[in-house]
Amino acid sequence: MSNLLLTSKGILKIADFGLARKFGTPSKPMTPKVVTLWYRAPEVLFGEKVYTTAIDMWSVGCIFGELLLTQPLLPGKIEQHQIELICKLLGTPNDRIWSGLSSLPLFKAITLPAVPYEDFHKRFERCKLTENAMALLKGLLTYGPRARLDVKSALDSQWFWDRPPASAPILLPTFPEGRNEGAYDSNVKAYQRRKEERQQEFGGIRGLRNNFAEGKGMVVERRIGSKRFRDDESDLNLELGEPPVQHFRLS
Per-residue pLDDT of the chain (251 residues; tens, 9 = 90+): 678 888 888 888 888 887 777 777 665 777 778 899 999 999 999 999 889 999 999 999 999 999 999 999 999 999 999 999 999 999 999 999 999 999 999 999 998 988 887 677 889 999 989 999 999 999 999 999 999 999 999 999 999 998 888 888 788 877 776 555 555 566 667 767 776 776 665 555 444 444 444 444 444 444 444 454 444 433 433 433 444 444 444 43
Residues 224 and 128 in one domain: no
Residues 142 and 175 in one domain: no
Domain boundary among 145, 161, 177: 161
Query: How many CB atoms are closer than 10 A to CB 169?
Result: 12
Residues 176 and 142 in one domain: no
Phi, psi of 131, deg, nearest 5: -60, -35
| pLDDT for the residue numbered 11 | 84
Calculate ∠ Cα 232-234-239, nearest 5°: 100
Number of domains into which the chain is organized: 2
Which ranges of the chain would DSSP assign to H, the alpha helix? 42-45, 54-69, 79-90, 120-123, 131-140, 151-155, 181-201, 203-213
CATH number for the domain harbouring residue 57: 1.10.510.10
Residue 42: is the preceding peptide bond cis (ω within 30°)? no
Residues 118 and 202 in one domain: no
Domain boundary among 161, 180, 200: 161
Residues 11 and 134 in one domain: yes
Residues 20 and 130 in one domain: yes
The answer for 228, left when phi > 0, alpha when psi is -120 to 50, beta otherwise, is: beta
Domain boundary among 105, 139, 161: 161
Residues 153 and 176 in one domain: no
Residues 142 and 232 in one domain: no
Three-class secondary structure of residue 207 per DSSP: helix
Residues 99 and 189 in one domain: no
Residues 36 and 121 in one domain: yes
Residues 101 and 217 in one domain: no
Q: Using an 8 Å Cβ cutoff, are 230 and 219 in contact?
A: yes
| Domain encompassing residue 145 | 4-161
Please give the DSSP secondary-structure letter assigned to residue 233: G
| pLDDT for the residue numbered 7 | 85
